[in-house]
A and B are shown apart, each in its own frame.
Chain A
Amino acid sequence: MPFIPHTEQDIRDMLSAIGVAEIASLFDEIPASLRSNLPPSVPPQVTEMEITRLLHERARRDAQPLCFIGAGAYDHHIPAAVWELTTRGEFYSAYTPYQAEASQGTLQLAYEYQTMMVGLTGMDVSNASLYDGGSALAEAVLMAVRRNRRSSVRRVLMPTTVHPAYRRVTETIVRNQAIELETVGYESRAGTLNLAALERWSGEDVTALVIQQPNFFGCLEDVNSLVDWAHTQGALVIALVNPIALAVLTPPGQWGQNGADIACGEGQPLGIPLSSGGPYFGFMVCKNAHVRQMPGRIVGKTVDLEGRAGYTLTLQPREQHIRRSKATSNICTNQGLMVTAATLYMSLLGAGGLARVAAACHANTQALLAAVSNIEGVRPAFIGPSFHEAVLQLDAPARSALERMAGAGILGGYDLSQDYPELGHAILVCATEKRTDEDIAAYARAMQGALRVARRA
């Protein structure tokens, strides 16, 4: 029997200890009208050898083209040690560390992770993870609304330069709490938040402003002015950031006069495989003053009976298992194993290595822009500083151009025409540190070919 250790003798002994004749008797409290069998659509059991063959076949069908898509998930190199260690049974098969004494591995690691995130973001405290970047932004919005008591409305400014999927997730999660998500547009030349559109909110009651840096287009927002503007309004600032970019960009804790209040984002770039979109992890950090409104697990340092240092979950009265309907969030299981991978990744790279990764991504994306710059019908959509990603405008429908490039073995970018029709035939491109000069040359060739065909069509 797969994974069940019982011998015939065990079964007899156990039934007799219980005092029933057969296993079926143990189900006698289920009303007869509800007892059922599984329908034939549940397939019969296969062996490990058979399922291995099947999954290898399916994996082979999923051989991946060269990836130049970013848009929130990035194809970075993951050091071999990261997943070798992450999948050790002691990390992999442990539960949430409720019994602290029996979970010092997971707990100390989480404390180290929190320290690393504080270091990277320049904020004061970190939680031990949320589900992913999109849901972390939703939680940040809820947190800001709970926290900003000076604001008597529930109004959050959500620029359209924030990742469209993040905006949708936030909408789904906060919809039933009477929160207004107000959009703010972008300047068509710079690709950054439109300050004139923001001015319309000057003097109004605003609960929080969300700023993504680099923004969804890869453009750099003027975060200093934005933060100071928001704080003058009495609004809290939610920074949405890419952790790799923070190795070289100003961390949200240092934006403007007083820094952002809450920062969050997608942890995937830190050693998590692309894996069709998950599991990843969301991170969240904040200023000390807001910690009691933070959702999720938080690990703290303490001492044991003998005065030795140890680690434990703390501030649990924020959480659903203690506060039930008054909790800061319903989150329980989060993405612990992904945090294990991220902690290993950050340890292996250090600040210097992370800066090299970030700079290499940026340099490669710039090289990509240069390589396509003299292709007829391709031009960068925005002027001004950008990082790591960029928008290209094409003179033919993005969808068919990308489709043709995919045929040539290249994922040429993310099609923006659905979410940003005003940009015309536009795509978002990204070349991580894994892309070589040859890859970039191949990209340019594929793009040229695709556009030639598309124009003819």
Chain B
Amino acid sequence: MLIFEHSREGRRAYAQAPRQLAGLADIPESYRRRSPALLPEVSELQVVRHYTRLSQKNFSIDTQAYPLGSCTMKYNPRACNTLAMLPEFLARHPYAPDRFGQGVLACLWELQEILTAVTGMKGVSLAPMAGAQGELAGVAMIRAYHEARGAHERTEIIVPDAAHGTNPATAVMCGYKVREIATATDGDVDMAALKQALGPQTAGIMLTNPSTVGVFERRIEEIARLVHEAGGLLYYDGANLNAILGKARPGDMGFDVIHLNLHKTFSTPHGGGGPGAGALGAGERLHAFMPIPIVAREGEHYRWHTETERPQSIGRLSTFGGNVGVLLRAYVYTRLLGREGMYRVAEFATLNANYLMARLRAAGFQIAYPQRRASHEFIVSLKREAKEIGATAMDFAKRLLDYGFHAPTTYFPLLVAEALLIEPTETETKEELDGFVAAMCRIRDEARADLAFVKGAPYKLPVRRLDEVRAARELNLSWKPSV
């Protein structure tokens, strides 16, 4: 039932609004709304009950293991939320003078410093509000750099075929042509394809390392050299830094600009689709172009640097200062981890991924890059199961839900057939991983015995498999009252 269907005319949650409707006599009739907006009329208890029940229809990290590849669904420590929501932090207007925000600015400045150190870049801007916005900023900076040097002929951005969809979409938003290059059979970039793609038209390359196929790009130094020799710059998609945190730094690999998804590696919640934060780091060449605002420390005082102090900046990405509340959560998390904790994140994320990969391989599942170490994630290809039994990656994914596991990422990256991209993260127990292997084996047995049964999954969720084709064909995007 929808909240609108609980609605009865004249029912109100009276405690929530001002006592009375003030007069609007000074606003001419012609500017005024003629009939009230269609919103529910419900009591406070009805609201609380309805949305509590709705919440219970979700899988979440707090309720299920969530090995969704490329998404780093690790535990979101509660302290991060509690401390980011201290009333003084919440009450601060974005245009309140800096002197009323010395506490929050101190946290943000320290976060900038920590992320600068972790990434090996020259500086960090916390302005981008998600990974894709970090990418937009980074590629816009590459463009600003070339334009500042009059290199207008550089019109192409190189993107591996395995890249996340936001990479090519971002390059186009920045006015670039996308040149895709292939992935070699060992999972690394195909060097011949790269060399062929590079030229005077190259503005830069966008790379993910460990890559979206879950392996460390071993020839990264050579790639960086080749791209720089061709006059291009390197963008690092650091959405998932979990496997190299404290182990290797993008700055040392030769990257000029990077973004980090704080809502992955730094454990801020995903919230059912955001908000995130896409902190951006830049090296020597691109530092001056970073998006504003950026927190500066002057003696014991913190303040925002804006257009005045950073005239070469590509500009603002948000009305105010980005997703500050998310940044506070990430700050608390970095402090709770500390230096030692960061090493351990990488170690145990990698241990869990390699363990799960070894167990699934031993159970007879096909690993996409079996000769490679897993990073924080790895790919199982269900091509054989699809061909021999008829059970696809989607079927396994849906049936896993019945076993109480959120499905891994399905059909991404596109170059591996019937892909399940699996990322257990460091916060899951061995028992949970063993349970996942057992569920995968059970599903394969079930499919052998009764394929139609598996294709009918899920059975134990609030709804059975949903008709997505119909959703797109007979668009119903909002509720309408029946008259």
Contact = CB atoms under 8 A, between A and B. Distances in A.
Pair from one complex: yes
B342 A38 contact: yes
A320 B171 CA distance: 11
B359 interface: yes
A277 B325 CA distance: 9
Contact of B318 (A6, A92, A119, A134): A134
Contacts of B373: 26-29
B60 A90 contact: yes
A18 B358 contact: yes
Interface string A83-98: 1010111111111111
B20 A356 contact: yes
B386 to A, nearest CB: 19
A196 interface: no
A330 B166 contact: yes
Contact of A303 (B36, B351, B470): B470
B263 interface: yes
B367 interface: no
Interface string B134-169: 011000100100000000000000000000111011
A359 B22 contact: yes
Interface stretch (B41-49, B191-199, B279-287, B440-448): B41-49
Nearest to A40: B339
B479 to A, nearest CB: 4
Given A93-B269, A327-B165, A350-B41, A125 B34 contact: no
A230 to B, nearest CB: 18
Contacts of B301: none
Given A73-B93, A169-B318, A330-B173, A353 B100 contact: no
A162 B85 CA distance: 31
A104 B467 CA distance: 14
Contacts of B204: none
A438 interface: no
Interface stretch (A203-211, A331-339, A443-451): A331-339
Interface string A165-187: 11011011101111000000000
A131 B128 CA distance: 10
B303 interface: no
Nearest to B59: A102
A406 B471 CA distance: 54
B93 A64 contact: yes
Contact of A322 (B81, B90, B165): B165
B56 interface: yes
B103 A351 contact: no
Given A105-B54, A302-B470, A356-B18, A96 B270 contact: yes
A86 B269 CA distance: 12
B294 interface: no
Interface in A67-94: 67, 69, 71-73, 75, 77, 79, 81, 83, 85, 87-94
A128 B215 CA distance: 34
Interface string A4-34: 1110001101110111100100111111011
Contact of A327 (B136, B169, B324): B169
Interface string A300-341: 111111101011101110011111111101111111111110
A44 B114 CA distance: 11
B79 A52 contact: yes
A31 B340 contact: no
B437 to A, nearest CB: 10
A100 to B, nearest CB: 5
B319 to A, nearest CB: 4
Interface string B2-44: 1110000000111111111111101110111110111111101
A27 B215 CA distance: 11
Interface in A102-144: 102-106, 108-109, 111-112, 114-116, 118-120, 125-126, 128-129, 131-135, 142
A336 B271 contact: yes
Contacts of B467: 302-305
Contact of A166 (B77, B131, B319): B319
A199 interface: no
A51 B341 CA distance: 15
Contacts of B24: 248, 359, 362
A355 interface: yes
Tell which of A40, A250, A273, A352 has the most Cβ of chain B within 10 Å. Answer: A352
Nearest to A5: B429
A59 B101 CA distance: 9
Interface in B259-312: 261, 263, 269-276, 291
Contact of A114 (B166, B170, B326, B477): B477
Nearest to B81: A87
A177 B55 CA distance: 41
A303 B465 CA distance: 9
A228 to B, nearest CB: 14
Nearest to A330: B169
B247 A30 contact: yes
B416 interface: no
B463 A310 contact: yes
Nearest to B321: A277
A269 interface: no
Contacts of B73: 93, 95
B16 A348 contact: yes
Contacts of B213: none
Contact of A101 (B129, B359, B462): B462
A58 B105 CA distance: 9
B89 A105 contact: no
A346 B372 CA distance: 51
Nearest to B455: A305
A94 B28 contact: no
A322 B164 CA distance: 10
B268 to A, nearest CB: 10
A189 to B, nearest CB: 17
B107 to A, nearest CB: 6
B388 interface: no
Contact of B57 (A20, A108, A172): A108
B58 A94 contact: yes
B10 to A, nearest CB: 9
A278 B350 contact: no
B169 A324 contact: yes
Contacts of A10: 429-430
B98 to A, nearest CB: 10
A34 B62 contact: no
A280 B246 CA distance: 32
A36 B249 contact: yes
B426 interface: yes
Contacts of A411: 93, 95-97, 100
Nearest to A360: B18
A42 interface: yes
B407 interface: yes
A224 interface: yes
Contact of B272 (A56, A106, A311, A326): A106
Given A59-B103, A314-B475, A337 B274 contact: yes
Interface in B318-362: 318-326, 332, 334-348, 350-352, 354-355, 358-359, 362
Given A169-B316, A278-B129, A314-B468, A19 B103 contact: no
B218 interface: yes
B66 A95 contact: yes
Tell which of A38, A254, A303, A362 has the most Cβ of chain B within 10 Å. Answer: A38
Interface in B204-225: 215-216, 218, 220-221
Contacts of B114: 41-43
Contacts of A254: 34
Q: Shortest 6 CB-CB distances between A and B: which pairs?
A: A277-B320, A45-B338, A337-B271, A89-B62, A336-B273, A58-B103
Given A4-B344, A273-B85, A274-B93, 11 more contacts: A61-B102, A62-B104, A64-B91, A95-B272, A111-B479, A277-B320, A279-B274, A305-B467, A308-B463, A321-B165, A347-B3
14 contacts: A6-B348, A27-B373, A29-B218, A38-B342, A42-B114, A45-B337, A58-B106, A87-B85, A100-B466, A172-B315, A246-B33, A347-B42, A355-B36, A433-B18
